[in-house]
Amino acid sequence: MRWLYLFDRLSVAAGLLMVVVVVVALGAFFPQRPVGAGPEALACWEEMARARYGALFGPLDALGFFRWAASPLLWAALILAALATVLCLLTRWHLLWRTLRRGTLFTHLAVPLLLLALALSGRSWREERVLSPGETEAVTHRPGLALRCEGVAVDRYPDGSVADYRVEVTVLEDGRAVRQGTVRLNAPLSWEGAAVFLAGYTLREGRPVVSLQVVHDPGYALFLIGGGLLLLGVSLSVLWREE
């Protein structure tokens, strides 16, 4: 187990965090395969990617550059960085009170949580469904789940400009209604780890048509917790220095 002590160094932890930043940034240089897209959209994306990268498309695809969130290289960097951070925290546990007051404990706890959230977000998915009132569309990422648009209303100001859009949505599971509610701009309808957002509104032949985006991100809650701990730790560090 001697190799574990190599990770018990702040320089190693900092270096691994920099590796994570570089690895995450590397994925930004390659277009990612669209998640939740239909067969036609996927075929169109692949045709454009093959035209852009030519003979390199196959090797890059095999190495996961177009599915970077699931890349083994990214996951390895995340795991090593989280391990180093946790070991640095555990071996300095006897300094708990001092690190608590200075905020170091909170920032050390925030880092593995944020890394875990980033890793879990790699398993997220989103897909968009276009509906008119009375129509039902299945959610392909979750078999048996479907959305039904019950109605659309547009709220307006006295001058006639649009104030808000309201879409009545029913979530169906195996044909049975399990959740009903109103979806508005920046006010999604949530159900069992997924959220339904209003992504668009238009009129077709006089009928309202809405685009509903279904999003599932298992790392979202951890992002909020880790971000809160990081903010708390930084705030305590600033107050400690002022004292």
Three-class DSSP category at 140? coil
For residue 31, what pLDDT is reported? Answer: 82
**Each residue of 217-226: pLDDT tens digit?**
888 888 888 8
**Each residue of 130-170: pLDDT tens digit?**
999 999 999 888 888 899 999 999 988 888 888 889 999 99
For residue 151, what pLDDT is reported? Answer: 93
Closest by Cα among 204, 44, 202, 188 to 126: 188
Question: Model confidence at 84, in pLDDT bands (50, 70, 90)?
Answer: confident
pLDDT of residue 11 exceeding 80? no
- In degrees and rounded to multiples of 5, residue 3 shows phi and psi of -60, -25
Helix (H) or strand (E) run with residue 178 in it: strand 176-184
For residue 1, what pLDDT is reported? Answer: 46
Helix (H) or strand (E) run with residue 233 in it: helix 220-242
DSSP string of 22-80, one letter each residue: HHHHHHTTSPPPPSS--HHHHHHHHHHHHHHHGGGHHHHHHTTTTSGGG-HHHHHHHHH
Which pTM value belongs to this model? Answer: 0.57
Strand partners, 167: 152, 183
Q: Which fold has domain 125-216?
A: Tick-borne Encephalitis virus Glycoprotein; domain 1 (2.60.98)
- The domain locations on the chain are 2-32+67-123+220-242, 125-216
pLDDT of residue 38 exceeding 70? no
